[in-house]
Structure formats: C-alpha cells, structure tokens
Homo-oligomer: A and B are copies of this chain.
Amino acid sequence: MEKDKVSEEVIMEVASQVFMEKGMAGARMQEIADRANINKAMLHYYFRSKEKLFDEVFKNAFQKFWPSVEAALLSAHKPEEVFQAIIDAYIRVLMESPYLANFILNEIQRDPDHLEKLMRETGLKPKMMLAFIESLIENGFLVKVDPREFMVNVLSLCLFPFAGQALISRLLWDNDSDSYQTFLSSRRDSIMHLIQKTYFIQQV
C-alpha cells in the first residue's frame, strides 16, 4: 500500500475487497488490517466496529450497483440510445468490480431491512425508470409489456453473467477467463439486440 494515501482511504479500499470476496460473515477484521498494513486496533480507531465499516463499504457498493440511470434518462436521446447507455454502464461497472453483483445479491438477502434504509439514503428511484418505459409504450416505441418485467429481463441479462461468472466460465468456457471477459464485453451488443428483437417496434 502506498504510504502517501491516508489510512482511512486505504482501509476502505481493502475493506471493500475483503468484504466483497468473503461477505460480512466470512470477512475478518485481522485480514483487513493486514492488507492495509496497519494494526487491528487502528480499524476500530477509524471505524468503531466491523458493522460500521461494513456499512460504509456496502453503501459505496450499492451506489455503484445502480449506475447513473437518471443521467441516461434525462439526456432525452432516442430510446435505443438510452437503453444502450444503461447496459453499457452496467457492463462497465461490473467489469471493474467483479465481485460486486454477488456481494449485493447476498448481503441484501442477509439483512433486507438494512437495504430499505440504504435505498432511501442513496435516493434511488426505480419508479422513474418504470414511468419512462411506460411512456415509450404509449408512444409506440415498445410493444405492450409490464415495465417491471422488461426491467427484470434487462437486469437479468446484464447481471447474471457476472454473478455466475465463477460457475459459467468453468462449465461453458473451459475456465478460460480471458475469453470469458471478451464474452462479457460483447454482451453490450447482444443484450441490446435481444431486447430490440423482442420489445422494440420497428419505426418506419
């Protein structure tokens, strides 16, 4: 670890790694301290407890998880471009943080109420997205479909290949992780293609 960085930042960085790899229950304060090259007591000096530290990490992760969709929505481009931007954002974020998807999925299951609190704090508004899809349907860009179903499908196609990476790359890519990375990257196009075929009404 670089000495010039403030301890607090270094801690957050390695804590992120450890919590994401092992989850709350599996993570060890000692390991975080070791990786940050500090005494274990320093952890409690900066962040009072494991839970507090975890909360910070989780909050960070959760914000990344829901990429800046609003930006894509508000810059009123063509519908295709909006979705392309959202898909791109997801793929990009997840390729940077390979454990992110799994982390969120699991720690949410561990303590769902905690999620509810965090959602409000991060001020994320899925309803806005639903309304946008609804409007596209009314304006004849999309076929009639439950907007929530549409969203779940896009999310599924974007996130699952990351969440299941360890499994899928072994089963179907002979554990060649480079080639799997290429595949993940190529999904920008293939997911877009899929939803266009299924949900977009061809404009004349």
Contacts and interface: CB of A to CB of B under 8 A. Distances in A.
Contacts of A71: none
B159 A157 contact: no
B183 A108 contact: no
Interface stretch (A2-10, A22-30, A77-85, A89-97): A22-30
B106 A23 contact: yes
A123 B109 CA distance: 30
Nearest to A164: B105
A140 interface: no
Number of copies of this chain that the complex holds: 2
Contact of A160 (B109, B163, B194): B163
A155 interface: yes
Nearest to A28: B25
Given A126-B171, A149-B183, A157-B157, 17 more contacts: A23-B25, A23-B26, A25-B26, A102-B106, A105-B163, A115-B167, A115-B170, A148-B172, A149-B190, A151-B172, A152-B161, A153-B190, A153-B194, A156-B156, A156-B159, A194-B198, A197-B198
24 contacts: A22-B25, A24-B26, A25-B25, A25-B26, A102-B106, A105-B163, A105-B164, A109-B165, A112-B170, A126-B171, A126-B172, A152-B161, A152-B172, A152-B183, A155-B160, A156-B156, A156-B159, A156-B160, A156-B161, A156-B164, A157-B157, A159-B160, A160-B163, A197-B198
Interface of A: 22-26, 99, 102, 104-106, 108-110, 112, 115-116, 119, 126, 130, 148-149, 151-153, 155-157, 159-161, 163-168, 170-173, 183, 190, 193-194, 197-198
